[in-house]
Amino acid sequence: MPDWAPDFPLLAIAAGLVTLVVGADLLVRGAVWIALSLGMSHMAVGLTLVAMGTSMPELLVSLTAAQKGSSAIALANVLGSNVANVLLIVGVAASLCAIRLQVRRLELGFLLLASALTAVPFVVDQHVGRPVAALMVAMLVAFCGQLLRRERAAMQSVDHAPPHVATWRGWLAHAALLALGLVLLLYGAEWLVEGAIVVAADLGLGEAVIGMTVVAVGTSLPELATSVVAALRRQPEIAIGNILGSNIFNVGAVLGIAALVQPFPVDTGALWPLLTATLASAVALAAVLRLRGGVPRLVGLVFLFGYVAFLTVEVLRSHAG
């Protein structure tokens, strides 16, 4: 545990955020190169390896927070990141460049299922225990299995060649990127959580508010950078696949694994509005993608406005409380 972080919380938060973004970028670069070398499609890469890489900050932050007894940060980080992924990141990407693509029922169905699973601890026993965590992990395993089965069938039906020839130097270099990215993520998560806990206490804000604002937006920066760049490069499969996969991984891997390692209670009073926003944003994104064949710029602007309004209300509610 870093000894300096509690003494310099703002510096710890800044250093943690920068380290998380750089680490996730290195992790994603290595993962995407390896996946494309194996012949995977851009949508599959976005839904799996890119999503896993950009979700690593959430995983390590939630694990660290749960082990330190800051359960509100652990859960608010996941829920807040999922809301930010939809309203903030899709909103920014679509506002800059309208996103056009057809998304299949598999990924949309699992997006809604993953979002619904986050409500189980709120209505059952106000506790994220190992049975619920195991169900979340099982959902993720089922999603990956179905996706890989679909990908394998698609590769067998066409003559699909990898986009580049992989050399042993390329494999070694990109494996090194993966390793370095993971190390940076470990340090960044520790610094961010340490600083956020101190700042929450100093400002008199609840850990849930810090979790859904500073921590959630901070850990979503890799998704923001990835999706915006992909949208501007006219790679909608990566832009949207990253968000859909990230939200599914946040529930199945981040929340599921964190609760398997360290079960924790749920502060339903503080987190009900955030859960409602999580469910509503997932339904809205699924509906827009199915009905409009993408995300128009106007919808992106509406998402952005909704996100700013939600955070404003929650911060004001926390101060009033």
Q: In this predicted model, what pLDDT tens digit does every residue of 238-257 receive, in sequence order?
A: 788 889 988 999 999 889 98
Per the structure, the complete domain to which residue 264 belongs is given by 5-158+167-320
* Residue-wise pLDDT tens digits, 14-46: 888 888 778 777 877 777 777 777 666 666 776
Report the alpha-carbon distance of residue 39 to residue 159 in Å, rounded: 10
Q: State the amino acid at position 147 in one-letter form.
A: L
Number of domains present in the structure of the chain: 1
Alpha-carbon separation of residue 207 from 12, 87, 125, 314, 315 (angstroms): 17, 22, 21, 12, 12
Residues with Cβ within 8 Å of 299's Cβ and at least 6 positions away in sequence, in order, are 94, 288, 292
Query: Which residues make beta-bridge pairs with 99?
Result: 295
The pTM for the full model equals 0.79
Q: Out of 102-111, 207-216, 298-307, which region has the weakest mean confidence (pLDDT)?
A: 207-216
Q: Which has the closest alpha carbon to 285: 171, 65, 114, 72? A: 114
Alpha-carbon separation of residue 288 from 65, 91, 92, 131, 275 (angstroms): 34, 12, 16, 33, 20
190, 4 Cβ separation under 8 angstroms: no
Report the alpha-carbon distance of residue 17 to residue 235 in Å, rounded: 26
Q: Which has the closest alpha carbon to 266: 166, 126, 130, 134? A: 126
CATH of the domain at 254: 1.20.1420.30
Report the alpha-carbon distance of residue 130 to residue 263 in Å, rounded: 6
